[in-house]
Amino acid sequence: MVTAQLHQLSVVVASRNAVKINAVAAALQRALPGVTQLAVSGADSRSGVADQPFGDAETLRGACNRLLSIQPQQQGSLLVAIEGGVGPVAPLPQGVAELLAWQPRTPINDAPASQAQQLECFAWVVVQAPSGATSHARTASFTLPAAVSQLVLQGLELGDADDAVFGRVKSGHGSGTVGKLTGGLITRQSYYEHAALLALLPLCNPHLYPGFDVSS
Ligand X SMILES: O=P(O)(O)OP(=O)(O)OP(=O)(O)OC[C@H]1O[C@@H](n2cnc3c(O)ncnc32)[C@H](O)[C@@H]1O
Question: Binding mask 86-125 vs ligand X (x if CB under 6 A, - otherwise)?
Answer: ----------------------------------------
Q: Compare residues 6 and 178 and give the one whose CB is closer to ligand X.
A: 178
Q: Closest residue to ligand X, Cβ-based?
A: 172
CA distance 125 to 76: 19
Q: Does 135 bind ligand X (CB under 6 A)?
A: no
Q: Under the criterion CB under 6 A, does residue 139 sit at the interface with ligand X?
A: no
Candidates 16, 46, 97, 143; binder of ligand X (CB under 6 A) is 16
- Does 52 engage in binding with ligand X (CB under 6 A)? yes
The residue within the footprint of ligand X, chosen from 67, 70, 83, 213 (CB under 6 A), is: 83
Query: Cβ of residue 207: shortest distance to ligand X, in angstroms?
Result: 32
Note whether 144 binds ligand X by CB under 6 A.
no
**Helices of type H across the chain:** 18-31, 56-70, 96-99, 146-153, 158-166, 176-181, 188-199, 201-204
Compute the least distance from the CB of residue 178 to ligand X, in Å.
Answer: 5
Residue 194 contacts ligand X per CB under 6 A = no
What CA–CA distances, in Å, run from 131 to 1, 6, 66? 21, 15, 18
Give bridge partners of residue 85 from the DSSP assignment. 122
Residue type, 206: P
β 37-42/8-13 pair status: parallel
93-123 burial, b at 16+ Cβ within 10 Å, e below that, comes to: eeeeeeeeeeeeeeebeeeeeeebbbbbbbb
Q: Of 130-138, 169-177, 195-203, 204-212, which segment contacts ligand X by CB under 6 A? A: 169-177
Is residue 7 a contact residue for ligand X (CB under 6 A)? no
Q: Is 17 one of the binding residues for ligand X (CB under 6 A)? A: yes
189 binds ligand X (CB under 6 A): no
CB 121, CB 178: distance < 8 Å: yes
Q: Are 136 and 63 in contact (CB under 8 A)?
A: yes
Provide CB contacts within 8 A for 108, sequence distance 6+.
115, 116, 117, 118, 146, 149, 150, 153
Question: Which of these ranges, 108-116, 131-139, 151-159, 198-206, lies near ligand X under the rule CB under 6 A?
Answer: 151-159
* Residues forming the site for ligand X (CB under 6 A): 15-17, 20, 47, 52, 83-84, 157-159, 162, 171-172, 176-178, 188
